[in-house]
Amino acid sequence: MGAGHDHGQQAMRAGEKHKGRLWAAFALLLAFMLVEAVAAWLTGSLALLSDAGHMFTDVLGIGMALAAITAASRASREGQRTFGLYRTEVLAALANAVLLFGVAIYVLIEAVRRFAEPPHVLAGPMLAVAVAGLIANIVAFLLLRSGSQESLNVRGAYLEVLGDLFTSVGVIVAAGVIALTDWWYADPIIAVAVGLFILPRTYQLGRAAVRVLVQAAPPHLDVAAVRDALRAVDGVADVHDLHVWTLTSGMDVASAHLILERGAGLAEVLTASRQLLRDRFSIAHATLQAEPADADGVCDGSEW
């Protein structure tokens, strides 16, 4: 259990390590979200409003990531929560996906309504604010990039900022088209593009979070291959009740019952099996129960 606990602590520290960058990105995007929201109201731009709404989910997502990191850190020191609150970041990522979906649907509905009668848009202020928003997103993108590979929740915030970066470019394009041609349809068209861009990313993030919450096997692991590898360990006659799931980002766990061959050494089999799971499948937290060959399915063996 010691190695698994250490691995869990590593997952938690991955979030803690990037906490300062999360705070910096949170403050930066919060300021520009307010600027964009006010500018959208003043200019009448739906594209700018969609960008502000998307930036709002960025801010909320980063805020939830910070809350999840803090909660997991505190809970890990409480004896009754032996796994800490690692799932908090997964719940936050799922909430993030739901919010993004709501924003995308609203933007699409409002954009379709505006096609009937495109409103007048102040292209100059719209362009200036969109450029400022693009700069803010680039800075936030660079702040979150390193942590996106270590934490699902940081990854969610990173993907949102990445998407917002592209939507800022779209708003700039719309503002430029309106300024040069007075073609007001550019604003709702870009808004639709933003909504369609958000939806698949929302689905991917939500699917990843749900997969963790329902304790499905990690997509990169073949459960049959894990079972076959354990059966090939010297001293193992068979394997049953094998379960592999993800506790939180970067922490895959497993449990299994190993039926021992007659005369097999308990300590040797458990050590070899645990090392196999760690080295070949990157599963550092494994609970293995060994059963003698004549146990007749009674699971009363020793645990590791």
Residues of the chain with CATH 1.20.1510.10: 2-213
Instruction: Identify which of 4, 31, 47 has the alpha carbon closest to the alpha carbon of residue 255.
Output: 4
DSSP E strands in the chain: the ranges are 236-248, 251-260, 285-291, 302-303
Bridge partner residues of 31 (DSSP):
none
Average pLDDT over the chain reads 81
Query: Is the pLDDT at 274 greater than 90, yes or no?
Result: yes
Residues of the chain with CATH 3.30.360.10: 223-303
Cβ atoms 58, 99 nearer than 8 A: no
- Which pLDDT value is given to residue 206? 87
Among the ranges given (65-69, 72-76, 91-95, 276-280), the one the predictor scored with the smallest mean pLDDT: 72-76
Task: Record the pTM.
Answer: 0.69
| DSSP codes of every residue in 54-95 | HHHHHHHHHHHHHHHHHHHHHHTTSTT-TTTTTHHHHHHHHH
Instruction: Identify which of 54, 58, 105, 93 has the alpha carbon closest to the alpha carbon of residue 204.
Output: 93
Mean pLDDT, range 26-48, rounded to an integer:
89
Position with higher pLDDT, 206 vs 163: 206
Cβ atoms 47, 190 nearer than 8 A: yes
Cβ atoms 14, 147 nearer than 8 A: yes
Cβ atoms 167, 194 nearer than 8 A: yes
**Per-residue pLDDT reduced to its tens digit, 41-87:** 888 888 888 888 778 877 877 777 777 667 666 655 555 555 656 67
- Which pLDDT value is given to residue 2? 42
- Which pLDDT value is given to residue 7? 45
How many Cβ atoms sit within 10 Å of the Cβ of residue 263? 7
| Angle at alpha carbon of residue 107, lines to 99 and 157, rounded to 5° | 35
Q: How far are the Cα atoms of 58, 63, 130 from residue 156, in angstroms, in the given order? A: 9, 12, 23
Among the ranges given (37-41, 148-152, 233-237, 250-254), the one the predictor scored with the smallest mean pLDDT: 148-152
Among the ranges given (7-21, 138-152, 245-259), the one the predictor scored with the smallest mean pLDDT: 7-21
Residue 135 one-letter amino acid:
I
- Which pLDDT value is given to residue 244? 94
For the domain made up of 2-213, give the CATH fold: Alpha-lytic protease prodomain-like (1.20.1510)
What architecture is the 223-303 domain classified under in CATH? 2-Layer Sandwich (3.30)
Half-sphere exposure of 265 (CA within 13 A, CB side): 4
Q: How far are the Cα atoms of 1, 228, 262, 274, 277 from residue 287, in angstroms, in the given order? A: 7, 17, 22, 9, 11
- Which pLDDT value is given to residue 76? 52
